[in-house]
Amino acid sequence: MYLHVTGTVTQPDRLAAFADEERRVLEELKAEGTVVMALRRHDRPGALLVVEADGPGEARERLGRLPYVAHGLLALEYVEVSRL
């Protein structure tokens, strides 16, 4: 199943301390096939992701490895989607 995940930055002043680890974990999630696509938002601080997982619960668990998520700096919203 695919999920569209919208990430909203909640504490932009704290991101720098976790940026390197965030990039590393994101690359791991891409290599594992969890994160199919990751895009930076330009309208406000945040990200849009396309995630492949068995369901929202599994997606939350996997994306919870991201330091921004784990430290409460990025709030995620999940919507199930399918290919056209």
Could you read off the pLDDT of 30-55 as tens digits, one per residue? 999 999 999 999 999 999 999 999 99
Each domain of the chain, given as residue ranges in start order, spans: 2-81
* Percentage of residues in the chain having pLDDT higher than 70: 100
Instruction: Please report which confidence band the pLDDT of residue 4 belongs to, taking 50, 70 and 90 as the band edges.
Output: very high
What is the band of 7 on the pLDDT scale with cuts at 50, 70, 90? Answer: very high
Provide the pLDDT for residue 71.
Answer: 98
Give Cα 20 to chain centroid, integer Å.
15
Quickly name the fold that domain 2-81 has: Alpha-Beta Plaits (3.30.70)
Residue 16 vs residues 11, 12, 23: alpha-carbon distances, Å: 11, 8, 11
Average pLDDT of the residues of the chain: 97
Of the candidates 83, 58, 69, which has an alpha carbon nearest to the alpha carbon of residue 9? 69
* pLDDT of 81: 97
The Cα 36–Cα 51 span in angstroms is 6
